[in-house]
Structure 1
Amino acid sequence: MQDLVAAALAAAKERGRDVADVPLTAIAAAAGISRSTLLRRLGGSRAALDEAVRQAGVDPGGRPPVRDRAIDAAARLVSERGLGGVTLDAVAERAECSLPSLHTVFDGRDGLLAAVFELHGPLPDVEALAADPPERLEDTVRALHRSFVASFSREPRIVPAVLGDLLSRPDGPAARMMAANFPRLLDGLNRLLLPHIEAGRLRPLPLPVLMQLLLGPMAMHLLVRPVLAPALGPALPSVEETAELFTESYLRAVALP
C-alpha cells in the first residue's frame, strides 16, 4: 500500500489538489498500473487508499460532490449575470470540475438550471408548507405569500432572474427551468388548496388559475418594486404590508362565504 500512497501524494502534488480530489486514473498512472489493477488492490473502493494516506499523516481532504459544487456555482452565476450569462464552461471553472462531469450529472445546461431552480426557487418552501399546512384558508394564503417573498429575496437571487428571463423570452431557459419543477410545485399547491375547495371555502377554479391569482400579483409587485420605491417613497407599502393586502384581495376574489 505504501507505493500507492506515494503515487497518490505525487499525483495530488502535481495537480495542486487534495488526494481525495485526484481521479483514480491519475493515481494509477502515477503508480504505473491500470485503474482496474488499482481498484483490485484497494478492494474495489478508494476508501482504503484515503485511510492509508491519513495513516501516513496526510489529510486526504475532499470536497463536496460535483453536483453540489456545480449547483452552487451556477446559482451564484445566475445571481451575478442572469441566466444568459451562465454557460457550462463558466460553471465548470467556478466549480472546479470538468465539462464531461457536468454533462454526466445533469444531462446538459437545462438539467443544471432546473436543479438550481429546484433548490433555490419557491418549491422547497411550498413543499415544507404542504407537509404541515395551516388549518384556515386565510393562514394558508398568507403563508404562501410570505414564502414566495422569502424565495424572491433569498441570496443567491434566483427567482428574480428566472422571472425576468421568462418575461423577455417565454421559450427560453427560464421556461424550461420552471417546466421541469412545475409538476411538484403544482402538487404542493394542490395539497394546500384542494382541501379548501372540497370544504366549500374556495371557489372550484382550475388549479393553475388559482395559482396565478395567488402568486401573479405578488411576483409582478416584487419585480417592479425597485422602480416604484424611489418614485413613491414612503407612500409605497412595505413588502409585508403588500403581502397582507394581496392576501385580503385574493380571499375577496376566490373565497366562498
Structure 2
Amino acid sequence: MPVADVPLITVAEEAGMSRSTLMRRLGGTRRTLDEAVRARGVDPGGHKPVRERAVEAAGLLISENGLAAATLERVAIATNCSVHSLYAAFGSRNDLLCAIYERYSPILDVEAVFSGPRGDLPGTVRAIYRALVDALQREPRVLPAMIADALSRPDDPAVRAVYERLFPRLLDGIGRWLTEEIAAGRIRDLPLLPLMQQMTGPVLFHFLLRPALEHLQRAELPTTEETLEVFTQNFLRAVTPLP
C-alpha cells in the first residue's frame, strides 16, 4: 500500500498518540508527513484522498472569499473531482464545512491540551491561548473568515450548522476544565459561557486586528509571547477568588 493511502489514525496508533495530537504536530496537514517520507528517499505515492483535497481547496476558497464561496460546485472544480465524489466523501455541504472548521480551527489543538497531562492553571491558560493564536495566524486564514461570517450572518444555515455541531466539543473541553477549576476553588464561580468569553474574547479580538495594526506607524505592538502573557495575567487576576 502506498504511504499516502495509510490512514492517519493508523499512523497515530503506531506512533502511540491520538489523531488530534498527530495532526497538531503535523501542523494540520498531511503534507508535512509526505515531505518527511520523501526526505528519507521514499515516494509516498498515490494521490491525496478526495476528502483531504477538498478540505484544503475549500479552505483556500473560504480564506479568499468567505464561507459563501465554498459551494460544492466550486470546491469540486478546485479539487478536480465531481460533486458526486464530494457527496460520497462528506454526505453534505454542512459536513464539508465542519471538516474544514475542524482542520483550521483550534479545536484539535485545544483537545490535545486536555488529552494529556495538564500543567497548572496559568500553564493551561497559556496553552489554550497559543492554540487560538496558531489557528488565527495559520494559512490559509480560514478561522478569521469563518468568524467574520458568524458575526455578519449569524442566521445563515451553514454557519449555524457548523457551530451547533462543534460548539459542544469546546464546552466539553474548555467548559469542563473551567468547571473543574471552579470546583477546586482556583476560579470564582461564574456563569460558564461568559467565563469562556472572558477568557478567549480579548485574545481573539487582538489577534484578529493585529495584522491591520501592524501596518500603522504609531502602533508599537509587543511580541506575540509578551501579548499572550499580558492576557494570561489579566484573565487570572479577573477570575481568581477574592480573599
Indicate the TM-score class for this superposition, using the shorter chain for normalisation: 0.7 to 0.9
**Runs of 4+ with deviation above 4 angstroms:** none
Structure 1 residue ranges without an equivalent (≥5): 1-60
After the TM superposition, which residues 221-232 of structure 1 pair with which residues of structure 2 at under 5 Å, given as runs? Answer: 221-231=206-216
After the TM superposition, which residues 205-220 of structure 1 pair with which residues of structure 2 at under 5 Å, given as runs? Answer: 205-220=190-205
User: Contact conserved, 1:117 with 1:178, CA < 8 A, in 2?
Assistant: no
2:48 corresponds to which letter in structure 1?
P
Partner residue in 1 for 2:63: 79
How far apart are the structure 1 equivalents of 2:162 and 2:181?
Answer: 29
Pairing 1:187–2:172 present: yes
- How much has 1:234 moved relative to structure 2? 5.2
Partner residue in 2 for 1:109: 93
Identify which range, 165-174 or 230-239, moves more after superposition: 230-239
- How much has 1:211 moved relative to structure 2? 1.2
- How much has 1:88 moved relative to structure 2? 0.9
Partner residue in 2 for 1:37: none
- The structure-2 alpha-carbon separation of the partners of 1:84 and 1:247, relative to structure 1 and needing over 3 Å to count, comes to same
Partner residue in 1 for 2:84: 100
2:118 corresponds to which letter in structure 1?
P
Partner residue in 1 for 2:222: 237
- The structure-2 alpha-carbon separation of the partners of 1:191 and 1:131, relative to structure 1 and needing over 3 Å to count, comes to farther
Q: What do you get for the CA RMSD once the two structures are aligned? A: 2.0
How far apart are the structure 2 equivalents of 1:229 and 1:68?
Answer: 33
- The structure-2 alpha-carbon separation of the partners of 1:166 and 1:253, relative to structure 1 and needing over 3 Å to count, comes to same
1:251 corresponds to which letter in structure 2?
L
2:82 corresponds to which letter in structure 1?
S
Matched position secondary structure for 1:63: coil
Identity among equivalent pairs (%): 47
Matched position secondary structure for 2:81: coil
Deviations 1:201-255 (A, max 9, x none): 0112232222111111111111222332233545222222222111111111112
Structure 2 residue ranges without an equivalent (≥5): 1-44
Pairing 1:131–2:92 present: no
Greater C-alpha radius of gyration: 1
Pairing 1:158–2:160 present: no
- How much has 1:132 moved relative to structure 2? 2.0
Partner residue in 2 for 1:69: 53
How far apart are the structure 2 equivalents of 1:84 and 1:65?
Answer: 24
- How much has 1:153 moved relative to structure 2? 0.8
TM-score (norm 1): 0.71
TM-score (norm 2): 0.74
User: Contact conserved, 1:130 with 1:191, CA < 8 A, in 2?
Assistant: no
Aligned length: 198
User: Contact conserved, 2:136 with 2:143, CA < 8 A, in 1?
Assistant: yes
Find the partner of 2:185 among 178, 195, 200.
200
Partner residue in 2 for 1:168: 152
- The structure-2 alpha-carbon separation of the partners of 1:148 and 1:114, relative to structure 1 and needing over 3 Å to count, comes to same
- How much has 1:124 moved relative to structure 2? 0.5
